Structure formats: structure tokens, C-alpha cells
Amino acid sequence: MAQTNTMFVRNATGLVRELSPFDAFNLVFSAVLIPVGISEALGFSPAVFTGANVAISFVIAAVLMVAFGAVYLYFTNLMPRSGGDYVWVSRTLSPGVGFVTNAALTFVFLTWVSFNFTTMISYFGPAVFYLWGLPNGLITTLSQPGWEFAIATGLTMLFTALMITGIRRVARYMRWMFWLVWVGMGIWLVGMAVTPSSVFQARLKAVTGHSAASVISLAHHYGASFSSGVNWGMTLLAMVYAFQVYTGFQWTGYFAGEVKNVRKTAVTSIMGGLLVAAILYTGGTVLVYHSTGYTLYNALAYLGFNDASKLPANVPYVLPALARFLSLPAILRDYIGLSFILAIFWWTPTGFMLGTRNLFAWAFDRLMPESLAEVSERFHTPVKATLVIGAVVEVINVANVYLGLSEFLINIIAVMAAAFIVVSISAIVFPYRRRDLFEEASPMVQRRLAGVPLLTWAGLIGTAIWVAVLIIALTTPYFGLSTKPIPMLEAFIVPIAAIIYYLVVSAVRKREGFDLNVSFKAIPPE
């Protein structure tokens, strides 16, 4: 049957460009989520890659991520539409590959929403209570599955409601949260800068009764090995965490349909986001080493993240808790702990927005029910798509709390890496497979090096980065890696389901007169 129907749901998305350059930067900067990311990278690296200098890992990873950022920057310039890599890959490789890749990434990023809800309770909660000098009884109760699920559900409902009210109100909320979080983070950075390790370690001994030497000796007893020089092998391997926590700086493309002057703004939000993140991640890590002492910090993290029960009583290892020993007034130290918690509330709308705009883009291309592409005239936002994403996050909450999904984070990283490999390959071949679009692109996108488009070079480097991350994720015997059937199925179930779903929808649409391989040659309207 010939294709007689229109390609898209309508001739305009209905989304309104209401995001300012700062709003676009704030979205991607929140996605980098430095308070959580530095806690993860600095926590797990000493436990997994003993002897790594994470500050150096951050620097090298940032330099390499410039190329991957260029992939998203150039594609955003080429096709500034909501949905980001879904639109780009589906128009470059094939509709099915684009849908499956974007569905996998959407799943990964929505799991972060749920993970952070429970991280706030079970990980940051005890650390902040320690900092504040409060007993752990309440936080222990809240860390029970029933309470964790209730809190995660309540937060899911609240943020779903916020997202429905429209992007302008969300942007205003995030501007307030930016300042609340970064005032606290600024105090933390200054506090570490003015606290020498000798003072920190003296305070640690005064409060806990345990010296730095005794903690380091205990870590050695349980297998840690800390050399005075840089262990380059471990430092390079630790970049897997740097690559993971940097992810988010390039997200402007996912909501490009709502950013003012998006082609210009994308440069400052994407590359500016990476630059600021690199400075703060690297600088923050250097200051942690400066204030705590490199060897002591690594000993604390090695013991705490491998088996916290081996730490001496009352000795903390999570970054917010260590703020207790900084040379700051108590009220400022307390606010540092609060800012670590507030960071999760700052970033959550970004995760929701990414999910809703990707779902919206699928529906606009008729891969999902057309009603999910409807935009509220009152709020200028896809309300039905937002409700569906809220329901998806709630399902992930169940898997996270009751099915142990969060225990297999390395598997989730593997899914993300595999998807980013596909996006990078799209960048490699785009100038050749879609020569028509490439030759009409802006001069920035058409630039070449040694006769090869910069977009292709960026894709090659991006592919190398994420192949390395995938290999490390699948060979690291720590922190959730499991190649047993159930955990692997939990991590990869969405890409598998997406393949099946696409094959079914493609067949149905073809019977209705829509050949997706033909219609997806066109770029969606604005």
C-alpha cells in the first residue's frame, strides 16, 4: 500500500522555546550532579582501582570527552529537535536502531532518578546525620524497604506534578535550587582549602579516638596498597567513573526544541558544562586529598566501600560526613550536608524532562500512541507523556527497592556505554550516509581535519571511549557486576523489549501505509 498519510503527527511540535542560555546550562550542569558524582567516583575508585589518582583521571577523561561532546554539539546544530540522539541516529542509521538506542539511554537515565532517591536515604542520609551529630535511629528506619519505597513514590509524584506545570516554572525552580546547592558546595570547597591535613587528622582523632596512622594500617591489613607515586594503570582504569559522572553535560540536544537560539546556546551549555564540571570535579578531588590527606582518604574509602564493618567505630568515609572535621563554624558544616541532599532535588527535573521529551519524540514519529505527543495549551508541556514517565519511574522504584536493580549499577553502565557507541558510530558515518544534510549544515559542522569531517573524528574518539568503558564495566569484579542471567536481564531488558516493540510497531505502521524507513529520512518539524 502506498504511503498516503502524513509522516508526523502534525506540522509543528507545539513546544515553545522558553529556556534561556542559563536555563540550558543549568539543566546539563545539574545532570553532571557533582555532589553525587564526586562522592561516587572518589568513593568507589580507591575500592576498585587501589592507588588511582582520581584527580588525574578526571583531567584525562575531560580532555577525551571534548570529542564526545562535539558529537552531541554538532548533531544538535544539525537537527535541533527534542529527542536528541533518537532523532539523529534514526535519521542516520535506521529508525529501529535510533529507537532502541534512545530507549536504552532513557532507561539508564531514569534509573538514575530512582537510584538517587534511595541514595539520598541510604547513602547520604547516615553521612549527613553523622555530620549533624544526630543518632542514626531515624535514618536506619527510613532505609528499610517499605520506607524507602514510600519516600521514592512520594518524590516521584511530586516531581511529576512539577513537570506538568510547565517548563517555565521548572526552570524557575531549578534556578533557586542551583543557588541553594552551590552556596553549600562553595562553602565545602573553601572549607577543604583552608583545612590542612594535619588539622583534619587531629580533629578526626579528637572526635573518634582513632589516628590516621591506625586507619591506614588497618587498610593495609585488609589488602590495600598505597604507593607514593602515581599508579598510572589504576588511574587510567578509574576513568570509567569519570566518564560516567561527566555524562549529562551533553544533554542539551534532548530538549533542543525548547531552547532559545539553540545552535548558539548549545556551544556554551555543552562545552561550558564540560569545562565547569572538569574544573570542579578535578579541583574538588585535589581539595579532598589536600584536606584529608591522600593516603588517609584512600584508606577510608577502601575500607568503607569494600566492607564498612571493618572501619573502626564512629569513623566515617562518605564525603559529607568528613566535612565534620573541616575548619569551619558548625552551622556552615551543617549546611554542607544539607546541600548534598538538595543536589538530588536540583537534578531530578532534568531526568524527568529527558524522559518526557524522548517519549514525546517517539510519539511524534508515530512509534508511540499519538496522544503522547499532545502538548497542553496551558502549560506548553506534554502532560500525558509526563504522566507516563512518572509511572515508569515508579516501576523502576519497585525494581530498585525490591528487586535489587541498584546492586547492578555496573551492568547499567554497560547498557549506557553500548548505546553511546551507537551514537558515536552515527557521527562517524553521518557525513557519508546523509551527505544531503551534511552539505547543507553550518560551516562549524562542515569543518574538516586532514580531509575528514571533524564530526567523523569526534565519533571515532567517542567510540574508542565507550568501547573502553564497556570493556572495563564487563570485566570489573566489583560493585554490582554480574554476568549471571537475572542481573544481566534486569539491565538489558529494556533494549531487548525495545527491539521487539519496534518490530511490531513497524509492521503495524506499514499496514497502515507508513513505511518508517521512508518517513524517517525527513527531520521532524520544529
pLDDT tens-place string over residues 281-299:
999 999 999 999 999 999 9
Q: What is the arithmetic mean of pLDDT over 218-233?
A: 87
Q: What is the percentage of the chain residues whose pLDDT exceeds 90?
A: 66
Q: What is the percentage of the chain residues whose pLDDT exceeds 70?
A: 92
Task: Look at domain 22-519 and name its CATH class.
Answer: mainly alpha
Q: What is the mean pLDDT of the chain?
A: 89
CA distance 377 to 380: 5
Cβ neighbours of residue 477 closer than 8 Å, sequence gap 6 or more: none
Confidence of residue 319 (pLDDT cuts 50, 70, 90): very high
Write down the pLDDT at residue 195.
98
Write down the pLDDT at residue 490.
65
Confidence of residue 374 (pLDDT cuts 50, 70, 90): confident
Q: Which of 383, 405, 519 is nearest to 2 (CA)?
A: 519
Is 308 a residue whose pLDDT tops 80?
yes
Write down the pLDDT at residue 159.
98
pLDDT in tens, 80-124: 888 899 999 999 999 999 999 999 999 999 999 999 898 788 889
Q: Is the pTM of this model over 0.75?
A: yes
Write down the pLDDT at residue 86.
95
CA distance 367 to 359: 9
Contact of 273 with 66, CB cutoff 8 Å: no
CA distance 120 to 124: 5
pLDDT in tens, 39-55: 999 998 998 898 999 99
Is 247 a residue whose pLDDT tops 80?
yes
Write out the three cell numbers for 129. 546525620
Q: What is the arithmetic mean of pLDDT over 381-407?
A: 88
Write down the pLDDT at residue 258.
80
Write down the pLDDT at residue 11.
44
CA distance 291 to 143: 30
Most confident among 379-393, 424-438, 475-489 (mean pLDDT):
424-438
Write down the pLDDT at residue 408.
59
Q: Is 484 left (phi over 0), alpha (psi -120 to 50) or beta?
A: beta
Q: Which of 124, 10, 14 is nearest to 381 (CA)?
A: 14
